[in-house]
């Protein structure tokens, strides 16, 4: 009799042990499936912001720079005007060898130039000084000052675009915050505008 009971007891223990093993496996499988499902959901919900379409190397800043780019650097798109060295072009016609457009913001102005000159030629201009080679968004650029104004008031960044170049000029008003330096800010603004400029 004791041998029969002992056999029944062993079988019951074995069944219970087996159930525990099966339950543990099922739980582990469920967790693994849950982890896999979570990974798939994460991968499918990623959002990539498309880069803006760059204009051609020969471009008109007044026509090809979108309002969103102008607003990104704190300028009002409605203030746009065709310019020559930042001053209004009274003839409303670009100079043959360069196209230029300007926008005004609060105590500041930015003008963008598309010119026939290479950045090597830009570095040799008589009105350019303190030339530095920098990288903006992984792209080679020149950062320099202009002899007509100090680094607090104005500064410029130039990018190579094929055989031409594009210049981003920042000029700050004396009516604004006098602690701001155009020489520093122009690099930040050029980085925001660079995706909208012609490719290298």
Q: Which SS3 state, helix, strand or coil, does residue 87 take?
A: strand
Report the CATH number of the 61-196 domain. Answer: 3.40.1000
pLDDT at site 15: 41
DSSP, residue by residue, 71-113:
HHTTB-GGG-EEEETTEE-TT----TTEEEEEEEETTEEEEEE
pLDDT at 95: 76
Supply the pLDDT for residue 56. Answer: 67
Q: Which residues lie closer than 8 Å to 52 by C-beta, 6 or more apart?
A: 66, 69, 195, 196
pLDDT at position 134, please? 97
**pLDDT in the model for residue 57:** 65
Query: What's the pLDDT score for residue 28?
Result: 42
Domain ranges of the chain: 1-47, 61-196
Query: What does the pLDDT read at residue 110?
Result: 97
Per-residue pLDDT of the chain (200 residues; tens, 9 = 90+): 444 334 433 443 444 343 333 344 444 444 443 444 433 333 333 333 445 677 766 789 999 999 999 999 999 999 999 998 888 888 777 877 889 999 999 999 999 999 999 999 999 999 999 999 999 999 999 999 999 888 999 999 999 998 899 999 999 988 888 889 999 999 999 999 999 999 98
CA distance 116 to 129: 20
Return the number of other C-beta atoms located less than 10 Å from residue 41's C-beta: 9
Q: Which residues pair with 6 in a beta bridge?
A: none
């Amino acid at each position: 009799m004791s041998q029969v009971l002992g056999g029944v007891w062993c079988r019951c223990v074995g069944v219970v042990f087996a159930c525990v093993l099966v339950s543990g496996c099922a739980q582990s499988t469920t967790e693994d499936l849950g982890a896999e499902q979570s990974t798939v959901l994460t991968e499918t919900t990623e959002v990539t912001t498309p880069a803006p379409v760059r204009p051609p190397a020969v471009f008109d800043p007044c026509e090809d720079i979108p309002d969103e780019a102008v607003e990104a650097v704190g300028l009002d798109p409605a203030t746009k005007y065709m310019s020559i060295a930042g001053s209004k072009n009274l003839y409303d016609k670009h100079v043959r060898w360069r196209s230029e457009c300007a926008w005004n913001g609060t105590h500041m102005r930015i003008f963008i130039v598309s010119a026939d000159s290479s950045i090597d030629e830009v570095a040799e201009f008589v009105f350019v000084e303190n030339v530095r080679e920098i990288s903006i968004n992984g792209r080679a650029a020149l950062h320099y000052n202009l002899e007509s104004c100090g680094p607090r008031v104005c500064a410029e960044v130039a990018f190579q675009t094929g055989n031409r170049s594009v210049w981003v000029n920042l000029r700050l008003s004396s009516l604004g915050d006098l602690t701001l330096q155009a020489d520093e800010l122009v690099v930040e603004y050029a980085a925001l505008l660079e995706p909208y400029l012609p490719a290298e």
